[in-house]
Amino acid sequence: MKTASELQQLYRGKKITPTEVAEDFIRAIERLEPKLHTLAWWDPAWVRKQAGDLVKRGPSPSPLWGVPVLVKDNICVRGIPTTCASKILGGFRPPYDATVVGKLKRAGAILLGMANMDEFAFGSSCEHSSYGPTRNPWDTGRVPGGSSGGSAAAVAAGLTPLALGSDTGGSIRQPASFCGVVGMKPTYGRVSRYGLIAFASSLDQIGPIAGTVADCGLLLQTIAGFDERDSTSGNVPVTDLIQGLEGGVRGLKCGVPREYFVGGVDREVQEALEKAIAQLSKLGVAVEEVSMPHTEYAIPTYYVLATAEASSNLARFDGVQYGHRSKSVGAGNQLLEMYMKSRDEGFGPEAKRRIILGTFVLSSGYYEAYYGRALQVRTLIQRDFNEALKKVDCLITPTSPTPAFRLGEKMSDPLTMYLSDIFTISVYEQSNSWHKQEPKVSMRQ
Ligand code: GLN
């Protein structure tokens, strides 16, 4: 299957048409989807219609013209079922496009459908989906990672060149790593979240998943930029991300955090990392050890903050405005019963666990002890990053302590699942600095 950059070249040479490309990917999905289950929703007729419209309108200079993109099921597409892989949003068709979706449509991308995910993006394996789990294309007995597991698996299997994911504490990076593709969490504020169904608002970001770094850049530069409909989006111009790729990495200083290797990292991961470091050194990168002393607090801090924000964000799903409403409510004025039954029937076990935990840490009498304290520790972790990044230009870490694990392996023990997020959840601590700082390595200087 072709990458987005290759498709762009072929279109420019008039060697292919959007209809041919759409048919290729439709065939691929029809063949492999029954084995992998990467999609929450798709309709080949909708894909063909978009391709046909592009042919009618004619080519545009946008690099994503005629390029297929899969959308994670928590990013609103007007008129298309968008459910966060949850029964509580069953039948919900948003009346508007997320900003990123609008940008893709204007760029002439072909939307292939909605990608499977962990319900409301709660998870690291794509097993917490009301549609059932997605499988890893490299070994279908293993998970693709999560929560953007459908997006990453579809890219890895060649069912789409590009996919959108969302990353709160690793949901793009970890599945991309488990499936051997490229994914990144953009800096907080880089990409508008208007139309992303919120999990934890101080952490969520939409970002790209692709087969190559260049493709990742193409998708990111298409969706990035200030949006007045998202007050947290950064008002910083979008630069050409592809040009810089040719520059090489010679002269960069790269830090390896000591605390990331104190036991628990699988030998296979350790070896892969050592190889990557050796390769970077060969290319002229100076690698040195740095210290991030508050790393051990990252998991409890994240799981207090993220669940607190999630419980608040998910309060809106009450059976009244959209999504599932329980049919088994007695006659008369039974509002409370309707809320309770609708939420009980609509949310899966992991969503309930997060809502209960988050409600607890925000409850009166505990708020300061848990939520307030977690905010303070977050500042300490943020300082770790700031200190380390004074000495080096970038950090190199594993994405996950283990390679892709087996389906079902961690489902009965939520804590083990949470612990696998150790290397991805803490980068959010940089989030708030977007408006104040200039990156050390920047095309803008
Ligand atoms: N695995 C993490 C969690 O379960 C991160 C999820 C995400 O980034 N959406 O919270």
Which residue among 2, 72, 185, 410 is the active-site one?
72
pLDDT at 437: 45
Q: Tell me whether residue 171 is one of the annotated catalytic residues.
A: yes
Average pLDDT, the chain: 93
Ligand 1 atom index nearest CA of 167: 8
Q: Mean pLDDT throughout 324-352?
A: 91
Averaged pLDDT, 382-392: 94
Instruction: Report the separation in Å between the CA atom of 183 and the middle of ligand 1, taken as the mean of its atom positions.
Output: 15
How large is the average pLDDT for residues 305-328? 92
pLDDT at 262: 74
Say how many Å lie between the CA of residue 148 and the centre of ligand 1: 9
Helix axes 349-361, 298-313, angle to 10 degrees: 100
Find all residues with CB under 8 Å of 340, minimum gap 6, and list them.
none
Q: How confident is the model over 392-402, as a mean pLDDT?
A: 95
Q: What is the pLDDT of residue 428?
A: 55
Whether 203 is covered by a domain: the verdict is yes
**Higher-confidence residue: 1 or 396?**
396
439 pLDDT tier (thresholds 50, 70, 90): very low
Query: Is the CB of 169 inside a 6 Å radius of any atom of ligand 1?
Result: yes
Helix axes 18-36, 44-57, angle to 10 degrees: 160
Beta bridge partners of 136: 139
Q: Ligand 1: which of 167, 421, 422, 423 to mutate, most ligand atoms within 8 Å of CB?
A: 421
| Residue 41 resides in a domain | yes
pLDDT of residue 438: 44
Tell me, in angstroms, the distance from the centre of ligand 1 to residue 53's CA: 37
Q: What pLDDT, on the 0 to 100 scale, is given for residue 407? A: 98
- Place 212 in a pLDDT band, splitting at 50, 70 and 90: very high
Judge whether residue 332 has pLDDT over 80: no
Q: Which atom of ligand 1 is nearest to the CA of 420?
A: 1
Q: How many CB atoms lie within 10 A of CB 37?
A: 21
Pick the catalytic residue from 171, 233, 400, 420. Answer: 171
Residue 17 CB-half CA count within 13 A: 13
Confidence band, pLDDT 50/70/90 cuts, at residue 322: confident
pLDDT the model gives residue 263: 75
* Atom in ligand 1 nearest the alpha carbon of residue 303: 10
Mapped onto helix, strand or coil, the DSSP state of residue 411 is: coil
Question: Which atom, in ligand 1's list, is nearest to the CA of 172?
Answer: 8
Q: Is 147 in the pocket of ligand 1 (CB under 6 A)?
A: yes
257 C-beta closer than 6 A to ligand 1: no
Tens digits of per-residue pLDDT, 186-204?
A: 999 999 999 999 999 999 9
Q: What is the pTM of this model?
A: 0.95
Cα–Cα distance measured from residue 355 to residue 338, given in angstroms and rounded to the nearest whole number: 18
- pLDDT over 70, % of the chain: 96
- The pLDDT of 377-404, averaged and rounded, is 95
pLDDT tens digits, 261-284: 877 899 999 999 999 999 999 999
Q: Mean pLDDT across the stretch 354-362?
A: 97
Which of ligand 1's atoms lies nearest the C-alpha of 200? 9
Report pLDDT for 329: 83
Check pocket membership of 420 for ligand 1, CB cut-off 6 A. no
**Any ligand 1 atom below 6 A from CB of 168:** yes
pLDDT at 5 over 60: yes
Q: Is 312 among the domain residues?
A: no
125 pLDDT band (50/70/90 cuts)? very high
Which atom of ligand 1 lies at the shortest distance from residue 203's CA? Answer: 8
State yes or no: pLDDT of 431 exceeds 80. Answer: no
Structure tokens at 217: 């850049």
Mean pLDDT calculated for residue range 390-402: 96
Residue nearest ligand 1's atom 10 by CA: 122
22 occurs within a structural domain: yes
Q: Mean pLDDT across the stretch 391-406? A: 96
What is the number of structural domains in the chain?
A: 1
Domain-embedded: residue 23:
yes
Q: Has residue 410 been placed in a domain?
A: no
Copy the structure tokens of residue 408: 């079902």
From ligand 1's centre to the CA of 170, what distance in Å? 6
11 close to 3: Cβ distance less than 8 angstroms: no
DSSP per-residue codes, 245-277: GGG--TT-EEEEEGGGGSS---HHHHHHHHHHH
Reply yes or no on whether the pLDDT at 330 is more than 80: no
Active-site residue, 72 included? yes
Task: Give yes or no for residue 435 having a pLDDT over 70.
Answer: no
Average pLDDT value for residue range 365-393: 94
Q: What is the CATH number of the domain that holds 116?
A: 3.90.1300.10
Whether residue 375 is contained in a domain is answered as: no
Asked if residue 302 has its Cβ within 6 Å of ligand 1, the reply is no
Going by pLDDT thresholds of 50, 70 and 90, the confidence category of residue 430 is very low
Pick from 74, 118, 301 the residue to mutate for probing ligand 1's pocket: most ligand atoms within 8 Å of its CB. Answer: 118
158: in domain? yes
22-78 pLDDT tens trace: 999 999 999 999 999 999 999 999 999 999 999 999 999 999 999 999 999 999 999
pLDDT at 261 (0 to 100): 83
Centre of ligand 1 to C-alpha 10, Å, is 37
- Whether 429 shows a pLDDT value over 60: the answer reads no
Q: Which of 425, 426, 431 to mutate to test the pocket of ligand 1 (most atoms within 8 A of CB)?
A: 425
Whether 92 and 310 have beta carbons less than 8 Å apart is answered as no
The rounded percent of the chain whose pLDDT value lies above 90 is: 89
Torsion of CA 390, 392, 396, 397, to 10 degrees: -30
CA of 310 to the centre of ligand 1 (A): 11
What's the average model confidence in pLDDT over 208-226? 98
Domain of residue 10 covers 4-223
